[in-house]
Amino acid sequence: MTRRITWTLLVLTSVLLVLAVVPLAVALTARERVAYRESQRAATRVIAAAAEEHLSDDKPPTVMRQELDRAARAGDCAAVYDASGRVVASTRCKAAQGEEADEQVEDVLDGRQPEPPENEGWLLAAEPAGEVRRPAGAVVLARSSGPLDARVAAIWGWSSAIGVAGLAASALLSVRLARWVSRPLSTLDTSARRLGEGALDERADVGAGPPEVRRLAATFNTMAARMETLVHGHRAVIADVSHQLRTPLAALRLRLDVLAADAKGETAAELAAAQEEIARLSRLVDGLLAVARAEQATARPTAVRVDEVVTERVAAWSPVAEERDVRLIAVTGRPALTVALGSGHLEQILDNLIANAVDAVPTGGSVTLDHRVAGGSARVVVRDDGPGMTDEAKAVAFRRFGNTRARGAGLGLAIVHRLVTVNGGTVRLEDTPGGGLTVVLDLPLRPESGRRGRTPGSLPVLKET
């Protein structure tokens, strides 16, 4: 923004300076040229008046000589011509004589107004000595164009200096203005990013920038305060639920275990069924708490090596898969991919997907994990050859308890969906060719930034299908 504002103001200032300074300089230059030529013609008329007395009235050429000497001392060249175009008197300088001077004299003697030519740095002016229609002669005065060129150069030099000074002043003002406007916005952007990363106590500076930006910062602070209150309240509810439900459930389960130890017959069967319901209820509470924590998760992106995490999770789940006679396969030979995800999120995602797949695949089936680059993202695929899901089940699979036929709590895919989307990725369900379910994850790529220390996930694994 700073650059755009600065360049916009500089362009506008440049246009205004060009429209103002250039016409002014042109007008001053033209005025200076006219004044210089009028001064030259006035000096020529003075010599012509003295020459007329000599040529028409046959007076001595004394006055004419004095005027010629005065012109010579002023740096001018002058020559007096009689009616036949012959030079009768001149200064030592010969710039007032020659072909162009002869043309000037011819025009004057014929009663025409000559065009003032420029002869090798000299400006020529011709005036009749006597009446214009019947002159007794002509006077040609050549004056150097150096002083005029110097004055014109000074005009354009000062005009350029004024333009440069105006442009410099505009640049300074535009930079200060741009910073005054953009710096609070940059600070607000940083605060918004930090708030999005989980710094709930982040607040924007409301004392800098234009009034509109200050109001925006105040509104942001109000929003951040309310969000902090809501999140803290939500966390408090989760803590209370965790304490109020899990502890009594654990105590109840322990008492049932004690009673079941001495029970026999139908009583033992009833107690075993009660234990299963208590275990199911415990898993349900754990799942609800896991989803709540996932929904509160704010991703602080770190560099995560997909190939390393896939290999690690396959190794961790291989004993479980072997126990159930399921092949757990990680496709090898793929290029190393680094994605930007929250710490431990990819592990939690894969754990839930592998648990669902291993639980759903029948004996002798297989679960395959693959990864590659697709469309500017890192694509991770978990494919199984189990019974798959119907279109209706896939449409609601990412909702809480969306899959009513799930063997587990029905929350695993909801956690996966939340963790993927909070990191800027997407997840979808597809049918595996030949039967089964394929989960496709598209995760944001990140340039390789070295190996990172990964922390294990904190969310439980919830079986889904």
Which residue(s) pair with 82 in the sheet?
Answer: 137
Q: What is the pTM of this model?
A: 0.46
Helix (H/G/I), strand (E/B), else coil: 138: strand
CA distance 333 to 156: 72
Contact 142, 43 (CB under 8 A): no
Contact 296, 237 (CB under 8 A): no
Which residue(s) pair with 144 in the sheet?
Answer: 122
Closest CA to 434 of 349, 358, 368: 368
Residue 57 vs residues 53, 96, 287, 299, 422: alpha-carbon distances, Å: 5, 24, 129, 110, 110
Q: What is the pLDDT of residue 450?
A: 39
Q: Which residues of 70-79 are buried (b: 16+ CB within 10 A; e: fewer)?
A: bbeeeebbbb
The end-to-end CA distance of the chain, in Å, is 51
Residue ranges of alpha helices (H) inside 83-210 are 99-109, 146-196
Q: What is the pLDDT of residue 99?
A: 84
The amino acid occupying position 1 is M
Q: Which two tokens stand for residue 385?
A: 């050859």
Q: What is the pLDDT of residue 199?
A: 76
CB within 8 Å of 320: residues ≥ 6 apart: 358
Helix (H/G/I), strand (E/B), else coil: 366: strand
Beta strands in 18-109 (DSSP E): 77-82, 87-90
CA distance 306 to 379: 10
CA distance 413 to 6: 50
The amino acid occupying position 188 is L
Among positive and negative, which fits the CA dihedral 205, 208, 213, 219? positive
| Residue ranges of the chain whose pLDDT lies below 70 | 1-2, 118-120, 197-198, 235, 238-239, 242-243, 283-284, 287-299, 400-411, 447-465
